[in-house]
Each structure stands twice: as C-alpha cells, then as structure tokens.
Amino acid sequence: QKEVEQDPGPLSVPEGAIVSLNCTYSNSAFQYFMWYRQYSRKGPELLMYTYSSGNKEDGRFTAQVDKSSKYISLFIRDSQPSDSATYLCAMGGGSNYKLTFGKGTLLTVNP
Amino acid sequence: EAGVAQSPRYKIIEKRQSVAFWCNPISGHATLYWYQQILGQGPKLLIQFQNNGVVDDSQLPKDRFSAERLKGVDSTLKIQPAKLEDSAVYLCASSKTSEYNEQFFGPGTRLTVL
C-alpha cells in the first residue's frame, strides 16, 4: 500500500461546478497536509495548508482533513477555467520534515 | 521578491552522458530541495539541504546522482551516467527553514534521455 493515494483523473467539469478532490494515506504520523496546484510546464504552488484535523477555507477553496479516516479533501466552489491544472496533495509528519506527494489529479474546467 | 530560478529549462541527452542542473533559491531561504517528477507522478524528494549541509538524501541514487550546495546558496544536481529512466522534470524548491513551511518551487528542468 502506497503512503499516499490520489486518483489521477482526469476530471472534467463545467464552469461553475463544485469540484471535490481527495487523497487517502496510510501513515498515522502525518500531521501536516497541503494542497499544491501545478499548471502545465510550471512548478507546484501552495494552495492550502492544514495542520492536524479540521477544515480551512480560503475564498473558493476549502480543505478538509479527517485523520480518523486518513482522508483529506479539497473543494473548489464556482470553478473557473483558470482552475484547470493538476492538484497535488502533500503531507508530512515527524522530525525529518519530509513531504510525501500524491500523484496529482488533472482537472479541466470547461467554459 | 524573485522566485526560485532553474536552468536549463530543457535538456536532451543520450544515455550514458552526463548532465547538470542549476538552482538559485529565494534569497534568505535556508532549506533547498531537489525533487524528481516523472510524468504522471507527484514530486519525489531526492535531496534536502539545510544551509550547505545535507539533511536527507535517502532517495538519491548515489551511484549516479550527486548534488552540492555551495556557500549555502546555489545548488547543482548532476547525473552521471544518465539512464533512460532518468527522463523526468527536476524541480528545485526552497523554504525559509526545514520545518513544515511553504516550499516555493522553481519551473523545473525537463530532462529527456534518449
């Protein structure tokens, strides 16, 4: 079993849809959970950062962490064509501060 | 604030040749990371530097890959000799400290090994 599992998609939605992206993990030591967005031919950029369990909202984006289920989610409301990108979950824990990334989900928002 | 700079952006070599990548992190960032991102995969950490010391190189194929960070600023990653499976995007990232802070990524170097 991989430490981090993420459905690679691709996921195609119409503009204005609510998008749900998910990752599961197996390492109970993970406490830091992040979502990165990666546009084609670019490096990843941090979108959301959550410590431990709970929800975090930033504009149209909401990140949720359920440590009991080892499951994290990213919701995008009112999706826009500019949201079309690959979304990577990343997580870490412990003193080595190492991040483990998921494979990424390719999202296309159609106008 | 200038971002993480990497060069070259693209490189095509034949197997068994050598190649080097360069990274200039954001000014003042103590921690520098090199990741390998194979097509369709997430970034995989190759090596992490704190200033000019190595923190983690457990996933660096040391028989062919080497990296250094001179004076705790710029870094180079070298592959010698290259194999077909080294075809990937090599990403450099930096952060203020080695804790779980935001990592800022460069645009990457896309390597193709023929």
Report whether A23 contacts A30 (CB < 8 A): no
Q: How much is the pLDDT for A52? A: 84
- Name, in order, each residue with C-beta under 8 angstroms of A7's C-beta and a sequence gap of 6 or more: A22, A105
CA distance B39 to chain A (A): 9
- Please name the residue of chain A whose CA is at the shortest distance from the CA of residue B55: A96
Mark yes or no for CB contact A41/B107 under 8 Å: yes
Give the model's pLDDT for residue A7.
86
- Please identify every stretch of chain A with a pLDDT value under 70, giving residue numbers as ranges: 1, 95-96
d(CA B95, CA B72): 13
How far is it, in rounded angstroms, from Cα A37 to Cα A40? Answer: 10
Nearest 5 degrees, angle CA A42-CA A48-CA A54?
155
> Mind listing the pLDDT tens digit for each residue in B6-49?
999 999 999 999 999 999 999 999 999 999 999 989 999 999 99
Nearest CA in chain A to B5: A43
Residue, of A52 and B1, whose pLDDT is higher: A52
Overall average pLDDT of the B53-71 stretch: 93
Residue contact A99–B40, C-beta within 8 A: no
Peptide bond into B81 cis (omega under 30): yes
What is the arithmetic mean of pLDDT over B74-84? 97
Query: Is B98 in CB contact (< 8 Å) with chain A?
Result: yes
pLDDT of residue B1: 67
